[in-house]
Structure 1
Amino acid sequence: MAVASSFSSVLPAPSLSLTSPRRLARQGPTAKSLSVPLAIRCAAAATAASTPPRRPIPPRKLVRCPALDRHAARASRVRFARKLLTLLLSKPRRFLPVRVLRRCRRFLGLPRDRPMLPMVLRYPALFRLFQAPTSSPLSPTLSTLAVKLTPAAEALAADLAALRGGAAVAPALAGKIHRLLLMTPRRSIPVNKLAHLAPDLGLAMDFRATLCPRHPDIFNLVNTSRGHAVQLTEPPPPSPPPLPPLRPAAPADRLMDRPRRFPNLPLRRGLNLRRAHRDYLLRFHSLPEVSPFEQLDESAGIDMLERRACAVVREVLAMTVEKRTLVDHLTHFRKDFGLPNRLHALLVRHPEMFYVSVKGVRHSVFLVEAFDDDGRLLVEDEMLVGRDKLEELVREGKRMRRAKKKGVLALDGDSDDDGDDEVAEEVSPLEVVDEFGDLFEDGAIGEDWEDVSNVVGGEGDEESDAESDAIEEFWVKKAVAEGLVESGTEQDICFELDEICSINL
């Protein structure tokens, strides 16, 4: 017994924890494999070798909406004309020399290998070329040519300015800025960020000088560490309620007006969701309502934070003129509005509220409740008249080119197809390197204005190579031969010299 006790003091005590059967099976794989007959193991190995590997589950396929995609394609077709119009309206004299305009290719979305003049001449109802007068009767060259607006384009700009300054539209535009400021915790937004959404909201390019001083009781311009910003006054005005739904809750063609027996999820026509996704959306909409003007802390929960983010995006889209904007424009307000970093995934996750269109270089997001099944707006904004008139002038220019083609001459490569109008779609997305610079200081803010970096003095934007100049000179001679270049006045040359000096400075 003494020997046994001495051995027990030397040897370690066995563990009292029970070992699971699975762990025991793993500890002796050789015994298990030997217990299985060799023929069965060979047959199992042959079957495993013949079975193809398991494919991963494909991601959820996005259901396209052709009616809303047509709206995105419609905006892409007039993208170049709208940007050039924005660029010319940003200048006091409403014109730019061609050699200065060639430095703005990135803003206009024009590839480097495509000449500028044919694209300008595609819109004869909006833009025209004129030659600055000189002391000697020289032929027009690239250095003496400039682009200006036609009387129809000038009238369009004047009508929009009068509409924005009217008694009915001006308070509504101020109310939009008021709502944007209420959704930020600091109650202020930098002007360079607000410029991204300004065209979509219907604001003028010079809203800092025209709209902000007229409403000192709501907001004012201040200088902050982040630059010029629009800030609410102290004490702030009372918060308005969120915008009401644009679509009635119950359709008018229901046979019986009574509450539904089961929860209903309104979806657009042709959209079918998986059961798990539908159940998630039903649980999401069963959460309590959250105001977009209410600030939530991180302890509120992921679902409530996403609920507020959807309310903020819905409020912004409801204030836009066309009830749509670019996804990239919303990403600039992630920190200001408390939006998640993966904003695109949030928009795709809620197809009952938003629709993301992939038409164009940048994705557009639509407010689903603002459109019917055929893609028509249920409530039209008063500023839509500007878009309609611009598209009418583009169509008028197309008719003018077609009539000229049937007449005597036409520019080579000037076809009536709409494919050339979407030249911006061929350009890859450009990174934002700098602010608008001189153009932004003059008030040139429009869609994708952040694509311009260093309009003056950029090495990549300079078109000084001989081949590019030769191509442009060829188009200048061709335009002069066809009578598309007008003669400028002495006042024009003075304005042009002032413009060039101000840009070079």
Structure 2
Amino acid sequence: MISLKILRYTSIREVVTQQHSIKLSFSPFHLYIQRRWLKPVDSAQTRLENRTRDHRLDKLIVHHRKLKIILEIEKFMSCKKRGPFVSVQLMSRWKNVVGLNIGVGAFIRKYPHVFELFSHPARRNLCCRMTDKMRALLDEEGNIIRACEANAVMRIKKLLLMSKNRVLHVHALRLIRRELGLPEDFRDSILAKYISDFKLVDLETVELTDADESLAVANVEQWREKEYREKWLSEFETKFAFPIDFPTGFKIERGFREKLKNWQRLPYVKPYEKHDVRKGHTRGGVERFEKRAVAVIHELLSLTVEKMVEVERLAHFRKDLGMEVNIRELLLNHPGIFYISTKGGIQSVFLREAYSKGCLIESNPIYNVRRKLLDLVLLEQRYTRELQTQDETLDEESDDCEEEWMKGTRDGDWVLPILEHEADSFPE
């Protein structure tokens, strides 16, 4: 041990260096270095990385990412005043805007069933537009969304019934507009149209004026009633239970089944019940509050067209729907009900009970037409012989039109004889 006299004349840094310079033997009697083993960190990020993957749902998200980029490009094309086409040179500037990691030209050539390249008749530059098949499917989707306007009104009503004061922010609805099957101008075509049901308090707030209590029934209640009748389970087992479907390869630890069974029986305030819902300080109060948040997210996903939504956009409903919890951590705590996919650089949550082998079990008209769009995108460069024959016929028609245009008279033909006469009058 170093004496106090030495400490008067040496600094603490020198003492530390002297101690480290001493060679220690590695025998158990001479080793005085204390090793502390850090416990593994159990956080939402580590659980997200170590979760059991559902490869079919991950693959579906990758396909949806491709379709999303194509729809963004189509949106920019439709904004052009000269027509629904744009030059490839101008499209190269949209690479970072639409989220492409490859060149725009390579992306366009990868999907010949979606994009059509042609030469501009006047400027002779390379331009791009949507194919007739893609355009027809987009028009069909718009027509179906307008035809299902009553269902869209019902979905907004149910969301407002779940909210605290029957009030929601229009900005939050706009973020999940496509997921809810709403038209792009839903604020004017739905909220301002149905005055007897909705009231626009200000530019970004909508209030429910006609509370139809017959809609205040959660979608999970149908499953509970079916379980009660078909499987002869007691009301105690099914009244507050949720359908559980773990992914393939999910490891069930010791005591997990008992915890899940107790959680299924735990009572909670249901989404459409109007009570003073607060997060209790006891363990049972916290579990009931979190289970209500699970029920709210379950009902919100049930109202969407494809039973999926981005996790980040769910956060905009936290205060309005009374689920002020860490949403991502809550979803990871219930892998049998929800599945989070991180493919495509975005975290998306699925309702597991609604999918089987990567497809929606109970389809709807909007989902069917969007599936057709996705199938057309996934064709990529397959079955392109039909496109080649169509291009050849179009080229022949354009050549015939150009020959007729050259044979006919044009507005500026009267200038040609004057120019020829002046050219002859000049001496050589």
Provide the secondary structure at the position in 2 that maps to 1:398: coil
Moved more, 147-156 or 302-311: 147-156
Which residues of structure 1 form unaligned runs of 5+? 1-41, 409-479, 488-505
| Percent identity between the two aligned chains | 26
Q: Distance in 1 between matches of 2:245 and 2:297?
A: 18
Q: For residues 417-428 of structure 1, what are the structure 2 equivalents within 5 Å?
A: none
Deviation at residue 342 of structure 1 after TM alignment: 2.0
- How many residues in Structure 1 have an aligned counterpart in Structure 2? 353
Quickly say closer, same or farther: Cα 1:96–1:266, change in 2 above 3 A: same
1:239-267 Cα distance to aligned partner (Å, 9 max, x none):
52112357578789x9x856699999944
Q: Distance in 1 between matches of 2:323 and 2:83?
A: 38
2:278 is aligned with 1:298: yes
Please, which of 305, 319, 337 is the counterpart of residue 353 of structure 1?
Answer: 337
Q: Distance in 1 between matches of 2:200 and 2:77?
A: 26
Q: For residues 333-412 of structure 1, what are the structure 2 equivalents within 5 Å?
A: 333-372=317-356, 374-396=357-379, 398-399=381-382
Q: Distance in 1 between matches of 2:376 and 2:117?
A: 17
Quickly say closer, same or farther: Cα 1:89–1:295, change in 2 above 3 A: farther
TM-score, length of structure 2 as denominator length = 0.68
Q: Distance in 2 between matches of 1:396 and 1:43?
A: 68
Provide the secondary structure at the position in 2 that maps to 1:82: helix
2:172 is aligned to: 193
Contact 2:115 2:131 in 1 (8 A): yes
1:140 is aligned to: 125
Q: Distance in 2 between matches of 1:201 and 1:327?
A: 15
Q: For residues 154-303 of structure 1, what are the structure 2 equivalents within 5 Å?
A: 154-166=135-147, 169-223=148-202, 227-233=203-209, 235-238=210-213, 239-244=215-220, 266-268=244-246, 269-275=248-254, 278-293=257-272, 294=274, 296-298=276-278, 300=280, 301-303=285-287
Deviation at residue 273 of structure 1 after TM alignment: 3.2
Q: Distance in 1 between matches of 2:371 and 2:299?
A: 24
Q: For residues 61-140 of structure 1, what are the structure 2 equivalents within 5 Å?
A: 61-88=50-77, 95=84, 97-98=86-87, 101=91, 104-111=94-101, 114-129=102-117, 134=122, 138-140=123-125
Contact 2:220 2:299 in 1 (8 A): no
Deviation at residue 396 of structure 1 after TM alignment: 4.7
Which residues of structure 2 form unaligned runs of 5+? 1-25, 403-428
Q: Distance in 1 between matches of 2:275 and 2:110?
A: 49
Quickly say closer, same or farther: Cα 1:282–1:57, change in 2 above 3 A: farther
Provide the secondary structure at the position in 2 that maps to 1:298: coil
Provide the secondary structure at the position in 2 that maps to 1:78: helix
1:319-378 Cα distance to aligned partner (Å, 9 max, x none):
112211111121222222233352111100111211112222011111122124x34433
Quickly say closer, same or farther: Cα 1:164–1:275, change in 2 above 3 A: same
TM-score, length of structure 1 as denominator length = 0.59
Contact 2:199 2:208 in 1 (8 A): yes
Deviation at residue 219 of structure 1 after TM alignment: 1.5
Higher helix share: 2
Contact 1:68 1:375 in 2 (8 A): yes
Quickly say closer, same or farther: Cα 1:212–1:64, change in 2 above 3 A: same
Contact 2:161 2:211 in 1 (8 A): no
Quickly say closer, same or farther: Cα 1:358–1:115, change in 2 above 3 A: closer
Name the aligned partner's letter for residue 195 of structure 1.
Answer: R
1:446-498 Cα distance to aligned partner (Å, 9 max, x none):
xxxxxxxxxxxxxxxxxxxxxxxxxxxxxxxxxx9xx9xxx9xxxxxxxxxxx
1:450 is aligned to: none
1:410-433 Cα distance to aligned partner (Å, 9 max, x none):
xxxxxxxxxxxxxxxxxxxxxxxx
Provide the secondary structure at the position in 2 that maps to 1:366: strand
Report the RMSD for the aligned CA atoms in angstroms: 4.1
Q: Distance in 2 between matches of 1:220 and 1:84?
A: 34
Q: Distance in 2 between matches of 1:190 and 1:296?
A: 21
1:29-59 Cα distance to aligned partner (Å, 9 max, x none):
xxxxxxxxxxxxx97644776x975352364
Quickly say closer, same or farther: Cα 1:282–1:170, change in 2 above 3 A: same
Quickly say closer, same or farther: Cα 1:298–1:246, change in 2 above 3 A: closer
Q: Distance in 2 between matches of 1:260 and 1:244?
A: 14
Deviation at residue 272 of structure 1 after TM alignment: 2.7
Quickly say closer, same or farther: Cα 1:92–1:283, change in 2 above 3 A: farther
